[in-house]
Amino acid sequence: MSAYRWEITRTFGFGGKGVQGPHDADESITSNPKAFIMKDDDGVTLWHGMLYGDWFGYEPLDDYGHASGATCLWMDGECAVEL
Protein backbone atom coordinates (compact mmCIF):
# COMPACT_ATOMS: atom_id res chain seq x y z
CA MET A 1 0.00 0.00 0.00
CA SER A 2 1.22 3.50 -0.83
CA ALA A 3 2.20 5.92 1.93
CA TYR A 4 0.57 8.80 0.05
CA ARG A 5 -2.64 9.59 -1.76
CA TRP A 6 -3.96 12.36 -3.96
CA GLU A 7 -7.37 13.41 -5.20
CA ILE A 8 -8.75 15.71 -7.88
CA THR A 9 -10.98 18.31 -6.21
CA ARG A 10 -11.80 20.58 -9.15
CA THR A 11 -11.81 20.05 -12.88
CA PHE A 12 -11.83 22.57 -15.71
CA GLY A 13 -13.79 20.74 -18.39
CA PHE A 14 -11.48 17.73 -18.57
CA GLY A 15 -13.29 15.32 -16.24
CA GLY A 16 -11.68 13.65 -13.28
CA LYS A 17 -13.30 15.33 -10.26
CA GLY A 18 -13.22 12.85 -7.42
CA VAL A 19 -10.52 10.70 -9.04
CA GLN A 20 -8.04 9.43 -6.44
CA GLY A 21 -4.75 7.66 -6.66
CA PRO A 22 -2.67 5.70 -6.69
CA HIS A 23 -4.65 2.55 -7.39
CA ASP A 24 -3.98 1.26 -3.85
CA ALA A 25 -4.65 4.60 -2.11
CA ASP A 26 -5.60 4.46 1.55
CA GLU A 27 -8.32 7.09 2.08
CA SER A 28 -7.44 7.33 5.77
CA ILE A 29 -4.17 9.12 4.90
CA THR A 30 -4.81 12.80 5.68
CA SER A 31 -1.47 13.97 7.09
CA ASN A 32 0.82 16.50 5.39
CA PRO A 33 -1.87 18.02 3.12
CA LYS A 34 -0.72 20.05 0.12
CA ALA A 35 -2.78 21.70 -2.61
CA PHE A 36 -1.67 21.34 -6.22
CA ILE A 37 -2.68 22.44 -9.72
CA MET A 38 -1.95 20.50 -12.89
CA LYS A 39 -1.50 22.43 -16.14
CA ASP A 40 -0.73 21.52 -19.73
CA ASP A 41 2.25 22.79 -21.73
CA ASP A 42 0.26 25.89 -22.80
CA GLY A 43 -0.33 26.82 -19.16
CA VAL A 44 -4.00 25.84 -19.23
CA THR A 45 -5.24 24.67 -15.84
CA LEU A 46 -6.68 21.16 -16.05
CA TRP A 47 -7.20 20.14 -12.41
CA HIS A 48 -6.89 21.27 -8.81
CA GLY A 49 -6.26 18.66 -6.14
CA MET A 50 -4.84 17.68 -2.80
CA LEU A 51 -1.86 15.48 -1.96
CA TYR A 52 -1.52 13.72 1.42
CA GLY A 53 0.93 11.57 3.32
CA ASP A 54 4.56 10.80 2.56
CA TRP A 55 4.87 12.32 -0.92
CA PHE A 56 7.65 13.76 -3.09
CA GLY A 57 5.42 16.00 -5.22
CA TYR A 58 5.42 14.34 -8.63
CA GLU A 59 2.91 11.58 -7.81
CA PRO A 60 -0.36 13.08 -9.17
CA LEU A 61 1.34 14.10 -12.40
CA ASP A 62 3.05 10.73 -12.80
CA ASP A 63 0.07 8.61 -11.70
CA TYR A 64 -2.67 10.45 -13.59
CA GLY A 65 -2.06 13.87 -15.09
CA HIS A 66 0.74 13.26 -17.58
CA ALA A 67 -1.14 10.53 -19.44
CA SER A 68 -4.10 12.93 -19.66
CA GLY A 69 -2.17 15.91 -21.05
CA ALA A 70 -0.74 17.64 -17.97
CA THR A 71 2.94 18.56 -18.11
CA CYS A 72 3.43 20.57 -14.91
CA LEU A 73 2.35 20.19 -11.29
CA TRP A 74 2.15 23.56 -9.55
CA MET A 75 2.61 24.02 -5.80
CA ASP A 76 3.03 27.30 -3.94
CA GLY A 77 2.58 29.36 -7.11
CA GLU A 78 5.28 27.74 -9.20
CA CYS A 79 5.84 24.74 -11.42
CA ALA A 80 7.28 22.32 -8.88
CA VAL A 81 7.47 19.28 -11.17
CA GLU A 82 7.56 19.22 -14.96
CA LEU A 83 7.42 16.16 -17.23
Model confidence pLDDT, tens digit, residues 5-29: 999 999 997 777 888 999 999 999 9
Of the chain, the percentage scoring pLDDT greater than 90 comes to 81
Task: Indicate the SS3 state at residue 14.
Answer: coil
pTM of the model: 0.89
The number of angstroms, rounded, from the C-alpha of 41 to the middle of its chain's C-alpha atoms is 16
The CA-based angle 56-38-43, given to 5 degrees, is 130
Preceding peptide of 22 cis, ω within 30°: yes
In this structure, which amino acid lies at residue 44?
V
Of the chain, the percentage scoring pLDDT greater than 70 comes to 100
Would you state the pLDDT for residue 31?
A: 97
In this structure, which amino acid lies at residue 41?
D
Could you tell me which of 64, 80, 73 has the C-alpha nearest to residue 41? Answer: 73
Query: Taking residues 62-83, what's their average pLDDT?
Result: 92
Query: Taking residues 73-79, what's their average pLDDT?
Result: 94
